[in-house]
Amino acid sequence: MSDIPIETKKELGLVHVYTGNGKGKTTASLGLGFRAAGRGLEVLMIQFLKPPENYGEHVSAERFPNFTILPLGLDHMVSKVPKERDIKVAQDTLQRARDEIYSGKYDLVILDEVNNAMSWKLLDPAEVVGMLEGRPANIEIVLTGRGAPKEIVEYADLVTEMTLVKHPFDKGVRARKGIEY
Ligand code: ATP
Ligand code: MG
C-alpha cells in the first residue's frame, strides 16, 4: 500500500474520460500519472491497444517505483467485424484491469484506449460500468480513447473531448519518436 497522507487519499475516487479525435488523450493521462506519482500515489496504466514497438512512456515509467505501465492489449486496429481473438484479448485485459483495481494497491488507474475497445464492440460498456461501480473507494480512474460510449460519459465525473482542429499527420508528418511514441 502507498504511504501517502490519508487526507490526500480520501479525496480520490472520481472517474475521468478523455475522448475525441484530437491528439492528447493518452498524453494527458500520462501527465496526470506523472503528477500523481510525484505526490506518492501508486499509479497504474493498463493499455488496451498499443503496437509492440517501444513507447517513450514505457521507458519513463521505469524511472518511477510507483508508476507502472502494462501494455496488454491488441497490437492492431479493428475493422467493422471484430475477430474472436480480438474480443478475447480485450476481455482478458479488462479482467486484469478489474483484478488490479480491486486489489486496492493503486490510487490512480488509467485504462488507456479502453474507449476504442468499447466502440469497436470488443467490450460491453455495461460491463465496464459494472466494474467501475464495484471498485473499492478512493481509487481515481481515467478512461482514454476515441468514441467513448454514452454509458461511460454518463457514469463519469469528468469528461474532456479533445477536438481535432489540426494535426500534422494531415500534411504528411508521420509519428515522431518522443512526441507521438
Ligand atoms: P497521444 O498519444 O499523442 O496523446 P491520443 O491518445 O490523443 O494521442 P490516439 O487516438 O490514441 O490519440 O492516437 C493514436 C496515435 O495517433 C498517437 O500516436 C497519436 O499521437 C496519433 N494521433 C492522435 N490524433 C491524431 C489525428 N487526429 N491524426 C493523426 N494521428 C493522430
Ligand atoms: Mg491514445
Q: Tell me: the pLDDT tens digits for 72-121?
A: 988 888 877 889 999 999 999 999 999 999 999 999 999 999 999 999 99
What is the predicted pLDDT for the residue at 2? 54
**H helix intervals, 22-80:** 25-38, 56-61
Whether the per-residue pLDDT at 171 is higher than 70: the answer is yes
Distance 22 CA to ligand 1 centre (A): 7
Closest-lying ligand 1 atom to the alpha carbon of residue 162: 7
Distant-in-sequence, close-in-space partners of 180: CB < 8 Å, separation ≥ 6: none
The dihedral of CA 93, 50, 148, 82: what is its sign? negative
The dihedral of CA 112, 177, 27, 19: what is its sign? negative
Whether the per-residue pLDDT at 166 is higher than 70: the answer is yes
Q: What is the dihedral of CA 63, 5, 158, 129, to 10 degrees?
A: 90
Nearest CA residue ID for atom 24, ligand 1? 23
Please report the beta strands in 5-149, taking only residues with DSSP state E, as ranges in sequence order. 15-19, 43-49, 67-74, 108-112, 140-144
What is the predicted pLDDT for the residue at 179? 95
What is the predicted pLDDT for the residue at 75? 83
Whether the per-residue pLDDT at 54 is higher than 70: the answer is yes
Mutate to test the pocket of ligand 1, among 26, 49, 119, 161 (most ligand atoms within 8 A of CB): 26
Whether the per-residue pLDDT at 51 is higher than 70: the answer is no
Q: What is the dihedral of CA 5, 8, 13, 15, to 10 degrees?
A: -130
Region for 62 from its dihedrals, namely left if φ exceeds 0, alpha if ψ lies in -120 to 50, beta otherwise: alpha
Whether the per-residue pLDDT at 46 is higher than 70: the answer is yes
Mutate to test the pocket of ligand 1, among 18, 21, 23 (most ligand atoms within 8 A of CB): 23
Q: What is the mean pLDDT of the chain?
A: 94
